[in-house]
Amino acid sequence: MDYKKTFIKLCIEKEALKFGKFELKSGRTSPFFFNSGVFTDGQSIDLISELFLQIIKEKKINFTNIFGPAYKGIPLATGLAQIMFKNNMGVVNYVFDRKDEKKHGEGGELVGTFLPGNTIIVDDVITAGTAIKKSLENLEKYKIQIKDLMVLLDRKEKGTSSKAASEEIKIQYNINVYSIITIHDILEYIEDNSEFSQHKSDVEKYIANFGI
């Protein structure tokens, strides 16, 4: 399975990937927009989990815990834990956080408990890296081992330096960063499909201005 093309096709089919002019949280105007929030059906989550699993096998990633940052990382963590069990890869623990600390009941910032061993983080997208870095800073208090991060899309954009945000994360936190696709995979797909060729120039200009 060519997981890059498979995922891009899923994104287009579900309209998770759109082309046009979009104002991003970072303040940049992008010629494409990615929204994993449309993956709200079992078939999509199952396929995404399979693609994550392919990367895990290829890269020989070992872990005990999966952390899914709220909110879009939560179904990704859940789906991955389930498909690993279905593929006889053991019972993997998953944990996710709350946007606001719960003051009653069991309380706390987290749902679930980290077990000893490596924790992998799964999330939707890296743009400027702000959200991921905040999650990593919030997790420091739990004294857990985090060696790997997987995302659906790495936009390969500059962070706070001339390096890509994903590269900054790798250097600053000593974490391996993997993605199903990058902005370059999207550009390659556009180049091979006449239906989207009118967007090629805008994507190339965006990469030249903000990409690595």
CA–CA separation, 127 and 132 (whole Å): 9
CA–CA separation, 65 and 56 (whole Å): 13
- Whether the CB-CB separation of 124 and 151 falls below 8 Å is answered with yes
Sorted by where each begins, the domain ranges of the chain are 3-210
**pLDDT band at residue 1, thresholds of 50, 70 and 90?**
low
pLDDT at 53: 96
Note if 133 is an active site residue: no
Segment 143-198, tens digit of pLDDT: 999 999 999 999 999 988 889 999 999 999 999 999 999 999 999 999 999 999 99
**pLDDT band at residue 25, thresholds of 50, 70 and 90?**
confident
**pLDDT band at residue 27, thresholds of 50, 70 and 90?**
confident
- Whether the CB-CB separation of 126 and 100 falls below 8 Å is answered with no
The DSSP output letter for 164 is B
Catalytic residue among 60, 104, 141, 143: 104
Segment 97-135, tens digit of pLDDT: 987 765 665 657 999 999 999 999 999 999 989 899 999
CA–CA separation, 168 and 198 (whole Å): 32
Yes or no: domain 3-210 corresponds to CATH 3.30.460.80: no
Note if 102 is an active site residue: yes
Catalytic residue among 86, 102, 134, 205: 102
